[in-house]
Structure 1
Amino acid sequence: MNKKICFPKIVLLSSGLLMGALAGIAQNTALIDPEVETARTNAYEKQLENYLRHFLVDEYEARAASRWNRDYSSPAALERSVEPNRRRWEEVLSPPILSKSGPLETKPYPLGALQAEWLTLPLGLLTAEAVLAFPEGASKQQPVPLIIVQHGIGSSPETPFTAGAYHEYAKGLLDAGFAVLIPMNLRSVERRNNVERYARLAGTSLPGIELVRVQHLLDGVLADPRVDEARVGMWGVSLGGMATLFWMPLESRIKAGVVSAWFNERRNKMAVPDPRYSSFSPREEHAFFNGWLTEFSDEDLVSLIVPRPLMIQHGKKDNIAHWPQVVEAYEKAALHYQRLDIPEKVDLVLHEGGHEAIVAEGVKFLTDWLAASNRENE
């Protein structure tokens, strides 16, 4: 017996019916005046902003006080007491697990008169890349300290060897006897915005990914007999300053740090627009990370770095912050060192310039803490 096959009916609207449907939609939207609806939505948006800003800013001190349980009886006690916070900070960055998928490759990379090396390390679908340069005289017999030099969002690994805001600070470090490792991180606001969106969907962050890339590079570079693996520092400018402040809590091989043109009164910077300083919102969405301001304003994040030496550099003409607020945040950060009776390990270089590195002071600070192999930093 032949069975009759029934297909679902497909209804095609004539142009008249379609116009009627659209007219019905228009009539429904006319149930409320567009200006009234816009005002209502604007009011709701304002409610949301006020609610979240109150949580982030007004309630921050009380919330942080309940989440930190610092023990200042000794440096070791402090490190042990903040370990739960360190794990929560790791959750903010959510660094992924990456594995080396090939050997570290090096090739000559001339930078003007300087002969450097370009490093390439495969990590599955990703690649970690960096410039590595040694001072004269570095050898197996005379290993030298290493500084991770991190460029900012508008720069590249070559930039720290140039003038301008960087003032050739990579060269200044080489002249002072340091080797320099300059990782290539993603450049430009637009690119970081794009990648950070994917990273959030994947449960990670771009700073977390770039931290792991640097950690794998360090594995290889610290195996070089010309490097003293016990004497590693980091110095970043702008977004490189962010990397320094973000990564030192999670990478114990970094024994001293310099943060240039980044340190801030973080709640204000991220959540309170003010004509006295610039705001990341709405253009730089890459700079907003899940859970950052639950308990990790800059002065609190510093307590995950103590007792390692840390220098903050900020220019009074740098519009990333209102400099008196930077001083206030620094004074709170310095309390962690003072309560351990090691105030000499933290310093603020408040200068009259702008968004830049201050070379002489930074080089001296790192030299003081990393130059002697037997120096006790912990």
Structure 2
Amino acid sequence: MRYAVVSVVLAAISGTAWAQQQDVKPLEGTAPLRLEEPLDVDMVRGINAFAEQEIVLSRERRKRHWHPDFSNHAAYDRSVADNRARLRTLIGAVDERLPPGTRQIVLPENLERLPTFPGVTAEFVVTGEGPGEVILVPDANWAPEHITGKIAGLRPEEQLAHVLAEMGIATRTLRLANRSSEFSGRPDLRSTNQPHREYLYRPAFELGRHIIGYEVQKILRAVDELEAAGKKIVVWGIGEGGLLALYAAAIDPRIELCVVSGSFGEREQIWQEPIYRNVWRLLDEFGDAEMASLIAPRSLVIEDCMVPEIAGPPPPSPQRSGAAPGQITTPSPQSVEREFHRARATYERLGVANRIQILASSAPERGRCGTAAALQAVASRFPGRVPGKHSVEPLAADEASRRLHDRQRELVDDLRRYTQRLLHGAAKERDKYWASADRKSLAAWEETSEAYRTQVYDELIGRIPYGLLPPNARSRQVIDEPTHTGYEVVLDVFRSEADGSQPIIAGGILLIPKDLKPGEKRPCVVCQHGLEGTPMDTIVTDPNQKAYGPYKGFSTQLVQRGFIVYAPQNPYRGKDEFRVIQRKSNPLGRSLFSYIIPQHQQTLNWLATLPFVDADRIGFYGLSYGGKTAMRIPPLLPPRPAHNGEPARPGYCLSICSADFNEWILKNASTEDRYSYVFTNEYEIFEWNMGNVANYAELASLMTPRPFMVERGHDDGVAPDEWVAWEFAKVKRHYDRLGIGDRTEMEVFNGPHTINGKGTFDFLHRHLNWPVRPED
């Protein structure tokens, strides 16, 4: 470091405790700051604790979404119709299925293929004959051939299709995407160790679809056929299939009986399960008991039994990596019992308590699925059946391996290609979404776009409905340079209503020029670090320091130009420590940026109180993940004048996105481009249904009429120039047509993923009305 104070601070922020530092010199008007550990560690831990507290509170809060009418069964069904429709949307089961009547039977394999969507087929293995038919949905690690006994691997009592066939009940067993990673990736691009389910989940999630929704739709495609044939409809799922069967029966009242084996229980730990079970906003409205209430008054059988448990994804290798952590364990008997009793309460209110039952093994240890009681519950639906011997001819080992390989490859490719077709049509869906925004004039745009700003915040980011606390600003001086001083600052933001909860904090480093004149107010630039960064990374000026490469000390450069500078700590630091914040928050309809927005609003509120900051001239400049912040925070935090008794609210008057701007939806959902996050370890990056709501051009439009700029290096591996130029062209057109084309620009330079600090500095001087001095 070029100055001793900063080298001490950098060491402290990197991990050295501050507890032994006694000489704390605070900024005037703030309390002394002492931290027991680095700011980022304290911040991330606090947000994680908050998210877990909110998950616990969600169980009671779900009631606000439910208004059941128990007067009779028909009235009850009508009263939960909206809940059912929302659940269908949340799992992405929204595409219209192809009509029944078209199917392909492949003999002698007994495969039945039901076209579900264009290019997507639901594949079943059909077994047995009889007056009834059961749709079997196995665990993802079990192929239909395991369930039927055609391929070894399961004990005879677990081969439910074979067992039911001998009872005179026909079955069709659905093939699921399994947890292998064999087809996860493209040999000509990148391969990953993501289970097939995660590989299909990632791009689908960005487009408002889900592997859960796709496979539920396959179940319902079979339901369509059975209904058309006038047959009884029973669905039985085991493990992963139990989860799918529960969803299917919850959203489709045609299913008369649902059997869930080894999957029913409390969902509050869903964030620890594989990411392909992550459902946006699920726990805000639905636990398993609530989904059971959508099945009522129809019959539901819950088997408390053991299912395949998963310790994590396939192990990584130099050739395959990037999978999200997550494990599957069988719900504990206590968890099953508690959730069952919550579900039973609804059945009791409807006078049909006998239609829900829980089946547990009587052995000292929990048994396997397919108890005699479960089999009898299914058999009772099919009077007139004729039990008999059902013979099975096992496949030879090489034939078994070939069949499983070919069928899984085709399944994964079909769903991958279907999602890519959705991706190619997403821009048109966004155009429809934004059709009500009036671009005929700047005034019309400002009036009609405000609703979109609210929708983006509520539906895409996720709003946390807690008011801001008094900031309780604490600080200590950490930099003393000839041209400026620096203070580390911590602010309180908000807290959960959970008992004893600690406040979420915001923090960063404030840089103040030493040539301030008494009473002078200057513009302020908020300089945001990228992934795994700290505020000090934006400040260091020693070229030998790693952080200097991408940041070029741009915070220091700007304070030396006379700007007030604030470098915030954002919580995307700590690898899985911060990534699980997204996992914990998504089921509540929240994201990582749900916390960052109020952190920045509190920061703006506090900066506006400083006597040397001009509250009307606070700009934002972020690199990389800080560029992601530039696209999500300033657009949603415009300055607000006082109105109807509400005080004025400071906001960002401009935004600069450096080393991040691109065709964001393509980058998140493409399986055909090496730049895509589908292949990388950033599993927290995906935002539910963003492809149909807002790309970067739409987010940038919410900056209007405030200035917006993009900084782009030709050699930046984030995306190719063509993607960046394509998306920025839409921004430029938007500003031009509103008559403010001079307020947006893009500088492209020869360089990598870094701050360039040429055109962007000029942009800041011009739009923050701060003169360029000779020494600059």
Name the TM-score class by shorter chain: 0.7 to 0.9
Give the stretch that moved more between structures: 342-351 or 268-277: 268-277
Matched, 1:291 2:661: no
Q: Deviations over 1:102-160 (max 9, x none)?
A: 61112212277753111111233321111111122335511111111110003111011
Distance in 2 between residues matched to 1:188 and 1:281, nearest whole Å: 20
* Unaligned residue ranges in structure 1 (runs of 5+): 1-7, 22-26, 374-378
Equivalence for 1:119: 489
Mapping of residues 15-26 of structure 1, within 5 Å: none
Mapping of residues 29-178 of structure 1, within 5 Å: 33-55=400-422, 57-68=423-434, 69-90=436-457, 91-98=459-466, 99-100=468-469, 103-110=472-479, 115-122=485-492, 123-124=494-495, 125=502, 126-138=504-516, 141-162=519-540, 163-178=548-563
- TM-score normalized by structure 2? 0.43
Q: Deviations over 1:46-76 (max 9, x none)?
A: 3322222222x22122212211133233222
Distance in 2 between residues matched to 1:67 and 1:111, nearest whole Å: 51
Q: Deviations over 1:11-54 (max 9, x none)?
A: 469xxx99xx9xxxxx9996792542343233333332222222
Distance in 2 between residues matched to 1:29 and 1:166, nearest whole Å: 66
Structure 2 counterpart of 1:148, which letter?
Answer: V
Q: Deviations over 1:71-99 (max 9, x none)?
A: 23322211222223222211211131343
Equivalence for 1:251: 637
Mapping of residues 234-313 of structure 1, within 5 Å: 234-252=620-638, 253-274=651-672, 277=675, 279=677, 281-313=679-711
Distance in 1 between residues matched to 2:599 and 2:402, nearest whole Å: 51
Distance in 2 between residues matched to 1:30 and 1:87, nearest whole Å: 59
The answer to whether the 8 Å contact 1:134/1:174 transfers is: yes
* Unaligned residue ranges in structure 2 (runs of 5+): 1-359, 372-390, 496-501, 541-547, 639-650, 772-776
Give the stretch that moved more between structures: 80-89 or 324-333: 80-89
Shift of 1:170: 0.6
Distance in 2 between residues matched to 1:146 and 1:349, nearest whole Å: 22
Equivalence for 1:190: 576
Distance in 2 between residues matched to 1:180 and 1:233, nearest whole Å: 10
The answer to whether the 8 Å contact 1:189/1:284 transfers is: no
Structure 1 counterpart of 2:460, which letter?
Answer: V
Question: Aligned to 2:607, which of 199, 221, 241?
Answer: 221
Distance in 1 between residues matched to 2:530 and 2:394, nearest whole Å: 51
Distance in 1 between residues matched to 2:612 and 2:699, nearest whole Å: 32
The answer to whether the 8 Å contact 2:711/2:756 transfers is: yes
The answer to whether the 8 Å contact 1:120/1:129 transfers is: yes
Shift of 1:250: 0.8
Shift of 1:276: 5.7
In the superposition, relative to structure 1, how do residues 11 and 313 fare at CA in structure 2: closer, same or farther (>3 Å)?
closer
The answer to whether the 8 Å contact 1:129/1:184 transfers is: yes
The answer to whether the 8 Å contact 1:234/1:258 transfers is: yes
Mapping of residues 325-340 of structure 1, within 5 Å: 325-340=723-738
In the superposition, relative to structure 1, how do residues 63 and 112 fare at CA in structure 2: closer, same or farther (>3 Å)?
same
The answer to whether the 8 Å contact 2:486/2:512 transfers is: yes
The answer to whether the 8 Å contact 2:558/2:565 transfers is: yes
- How many corresponding residue pairs? 355
Distance in 2 between residues matched to 1:49 and 1:261, nearest whole Å: 29
The answer to whether the 8 Å contact 2:427/2:692 transfers is: no
Partner of 1:42: helix, strand, or coil?
A: helix
Distance in 2 between residues matched to 1:352 and 1:224, nearest whole Å: 39
The answer to whether the 8 Å contact 1:153/1:188 transfers is: no
Equivalence for 2:648: none
Shift of 1:280: 5.2
Distance in 2 between residues matched to 1:35 and 1:9, nearest whole Å: 36
Distance in 2 between residues matched to 1:257 and 1:116, nearest whole Å: 23
Distance in 1 between residues matched to 2:574 and 2:709, nearest whole Å: 26
- TM-score normalized by structure 1? 0.86
Distance in 2 between residues matched to 1:340 and 1:217, nearest whole Å: 31
In the superposition, relative to structure 1, how do residues 140 and 274 fare at CA in structure 2: closer, same or farther (>3 Å)?
farther
Distance in 1 between residues matched to 2:678 and 2:710, nearest whole Å: 21
Distance in 1 between residues matched to 2:685 and 2:693, nearest whole Å: 17
Distance in 1 between residues matched to 2:725 and 2:602, nearest whole Å: 35
Q: Deviations over 1:159-215 (max 9, x none)?
A: 111221111111121122211111111215433322211111232111121111111
Distance in 1 between residues matched to 2:755 and 2:394, nearest whole Å: 58
Give the stretch that moved more between structures: 270-279 or 243-252: 270-279
Distance in 2 between residues matched to 1:131 and 1:302, nearest whole Å: 27
Structure 2 counterpart of 1:115, which letter?
Answer: T
Matched, 1:207 2:593: yes
Distance in 2 between residues matched to 1:301 and 1:128, nearest whole Å: 24
Distance in 1 between residues matched to 2:566 and 2:471, nearest whole Å: 20
Structure 1 counterpart of 2:426, which letter?
Answer: Y
Distance in 1 between residues matched to 2:602 and 2:447, nearest whole Å: 26
Mapping of residues 348-367 of structure 1, within 5 Å: 348-367=746-765
Distance in 1 between residues matched to 2:692 and 2:518, nearest whole Å: 46
Structure 2 counterpart of 1:173, which letter?
Answer: L
Structure 1 counterpart of 2:473, which letter?
Answer: L
Q: Please identify the structure whose Cα radius of gyration is greater.
A: 2
Equivalence for 1:24: none
Give the stretch that moved more between structures: 77-86 or 244-253: 77-86
Distance in 2 between residues matched to 1:30 and 1:211, nearest whole Å: 59
Structure 1 counterpart of 2:431, which letter?
Answer: A
In the superposition, relative to structure 1, how do residues 102 and 247 fare at CA in structure 2: closer, same or farther (>3 Å)?
closer
Shift of 1:228: 0.5
The answer to whether the 8 Å contact 1:313/1:348 transfers is: yes
Structure 2 counterpart of 1:320, which letter?
Answer: V
Shift of 1:323: 0.8
In the superposition, relative to structure 1, how do residues 29 and 151 fare at CA in structure 2: closer, same or farther (>3 Å)?
farther
